[in-house]
Amino acid sequence: MAKKPKKSDPELDKPEGEHGSEMAAEGPLLRILAQYVKDASFENPNAPNSLRSGQDAPAIDVNVEVKGAPIDQGTAEVTIIIGASAKRGEETSFIVELEYSGLFAFANVPADQLQALLLIECPRLLFPFARQIISDLTQQGGFPPLMLEPIDFAQLYRQQHMGDMAIN
């Protein structure tokens, strides 16, 4: 039995690279060029007493801030700043601080959407790596790893943006 020849689809017959260039020309493009620790700090001011077993779990306070700014046409640096402190009563168990950054390339992004891209999508891509570094730092400091909950960067952006609007 002879097989019927398949109809050719000009879109499917294109070499693989041609699809990507057409899609990039039509829609927004975002690429991570580099990601890196800008600053990291772990303090264990009451060691070894803070590491004794049988103590109550410390109260943990976490703060997150995002900064993003274009460097030149088509590239930007975005930094997630995470600070966490653990206290048992008035005694500090540990303080961890991290500035984790990424260098991003972007294209075809409307100017009115650039700030949201930098402060929502870029930190969303960086966060899992920053979370792992915070976990490792606390564990290497002698504590159970601090596993940060996922962050809704869109909500954080809205809160910061609404705060900016209230100031103006």
In-domain check, residue 100: yes
In-domain check, residue 163: yes
Give per-residue pLDDT as tens, 36-61: 999 999 999 988 888 887 778 889 99
Number of domains in the chain: 1
- Of the pLDDT bands very low, low, confident and very high (cuts 50, 70, 90), residue 168 is very low
Backbone angles phi, psi at 41, to 5 degrees: -150, 140
Domain of 112, in residue numbers: 28-167
Report the CATH number that the domain containing residue 103 is assigned in CATH: 3.10.420.10
Tell me whether strands 29-43 and 91-107 are parallel, antiparallel or unpaired: antiparallel
In-domain check, residue 2: no
In-domain check, residue 15: no
Give per-residue pLDDT as tens, 70-86: 899 899 999 999 999 99
Q: Does the pLDDT value for residue 100 go beyond 60? A: yes
- Of the pLDDT bands very low, low, confident and very high (cuts 50, 70, 90), residue 162 is low
In-domain check, residue 1: no
Nearest to 48 by CA among 102, 115, 94, 96: 94
In-domain check, residue 8: no
In-domain check, residue 61: yes
Distance CA 88, CA 128 (A): 28
User: pLDDT value at position 147?
Assistant: 95
Mean of pLDDT over the chain = 84
In-domain check, residue 11: no
- Strands, sheet with 59-72, edge to edge from the N-terminal-most edge strand: 29-43, 91-107, 75-88, 59-72
Question: Can you give the pTM of this predicted structure?
Answer: 0.77
Give per-residue pLDDT as tens, 111-124: 888 888 999 999 99
Q: Does the pLDDT value for residue 141 go beyond 60? A: yes
